[in-house]
Amino acid sequence: MSRVLVTGASRGIGQAIARAFAAQGDRVVVHYGSAREDAEDTLNSLAGEGHALVGGNIEDAAERIVHEAVAALGGLDILVNNAAVAPGPGNRHRIDEVSYQDWQRDFAQMVGVGLIGTANVTYCFAQHLIQRGSGGSIVNVGSRGAFRGEPDYPAYGAAKAALHALGQSLAVALAPHNISVTSVAPGFVATDRQAAKLGGVEGENLLNQSPFGRVGTPEEVAAAVLYLSSAEAMWSSGTILDLNGASYLRT
């Protein structure tokens, strides 16, 4: 049985990841930024017992979040960095359309949570493992957009590309401590927040991005995270696993 902290686990991909770990008998800390009610619903849906809830903005409270998670479960073995500011109508910032003030705001928010806050959570988690003298796993939830570009949300693409690079740097630094660091790079995923987009005028184009004629599911991302966090995947440390249904192929 492992003890797992999943950031941004109140809904969508994070919720599916938390449920997948709990279903295999692990104990999970469900982290949320502000949506406590959603996070409580996720917590109550987890199989098994001994799970916990921790809230806070990872930009400001990374150290407290990790300390509370460690205290709640008596230690941590796995960190899944899923928290991010998701692209949406309210933070679209295409450079040839947006004001300078909104450009600055969206970069600060997306990079602040998706990279800086995540880096700080990762630091605190890694220190916990190093001081304990035992190995563990870190899995970052990145994005296909880090490779193909995000013209409408360049801060999101930049934050995810930096997250991938951070993971590879830390994979080398933490290997002597028997800590693996990997990333997944999903394409478009059918979360509840994306239902309107899938059901709208963009829906057909989104489905046709993949030769499978569909988009990904949160459960598919969760399955990949479970594998990469396992002891059997230790030799995969440093990898970035594409999960986009052949909708974007990189070399």
For 3-243, give the CATH class: alpha beta
Decide if 156 is catalytic. yes
pLDDT digits (tens, 9 = 90+) for 178-233: 999 999 999 999 887 777 777 777 888 888 899 999 999 999 999 999 999 999 99
pLDDT tens profile 51-108:
999 999 999 999 999 999 999 999 999 999 999 999 999 999 999 999 999 999 999 9
Picking from 84, 76, 85, 86, the residue whose alpha carbon sits closest to that of residue 21 is 76
Among the options 153, 156, 227, 248, which is catalytic?
A: 156
Q: What angle do CA 179, 183, 186 make, to 5 degrees?
A: 160
Domain ranges of the chain: 3-243
Q: pLDDT-derived band of residue 137, with 50, 70 and 90 as boundaries?
A: very high
